[in-house]
Amino acid sequence: MTPLKLQTPYQLKEILAVAYTFNDQQMACFDDVWLFSANAESSDDLTAETIIYFDKPVAIDCEQQQIEHKDFFSEFVKEHDLWNCYYGEQFVDVLSHYKDNSSQLDIDLLITGLNYYADRDDFYDY
């Protein structure tokens, strides 16, 4: 399991430094978590200092009428007014793409890739 804990604040650069060392099997720990930003949803890009929390989505009965995205958020996320900035699987996809195309960790370049993917739903060419 990852040394990163749920509902704990981390700077994005801390998360990336830890996650970059993970192999494919260890990266699977991100598959069932979502990343939340402490910043209100805006057009601002993620930065190295952006505060990020991990949390698991709430299990919802999908036969329920009118399920909204926020229904999947825990009480912790709602109480702290956090914004869902990435799903774990998307985060892993971007990080894996970066690792496949770069020989060493460059936090700023990786954040550029994360922002690029968030804006375009496509990968940044490293």
Backbone phi and psi for residue 4, each to the nearest 5 degrees, phi listed first? -80, 130
**Would 126 be classed as within a structural domain?**
no
**Residue recorded with tokens 């704990």:** 8
Q: Which residue range is the domain that position 15 belongs to?
A: 10-120
pTM here?
0.84
Q: What is the pLDDT of residues 79-115, one digit of tens each?
A: 999 998 999 999 999 999 999 998 899 999 999 999 9
Q: Does residue 1 belong to any structural domain of this protein?
A: no
**Structural domain contains residue 2:** no
- Using an 8 Å Cβ cutoff, are 47 and 12 in contact? yes
- Give a yes or no: residue 56 inside a domain: yes
Residue 30 buriedness (CB in 10 A; 0-12 / 13-18 / 19+) = buried
Structural domain count of the chain: 1
Whether 3 is in a domain gets the answer no
Nearest CA-CA partner of 96 in 57, 123, 116? 123
- Residue 80 resides in a domain: yes
* In the predicted structure, residue 60 carries a pLDDT above the cut 70: no
CA 111 to chain CA centroid, Å, is 11
For the stretch 18-59, pLDDT in tens is 999 999 899 988 988 999 998 665 557 899 999 999 999 876
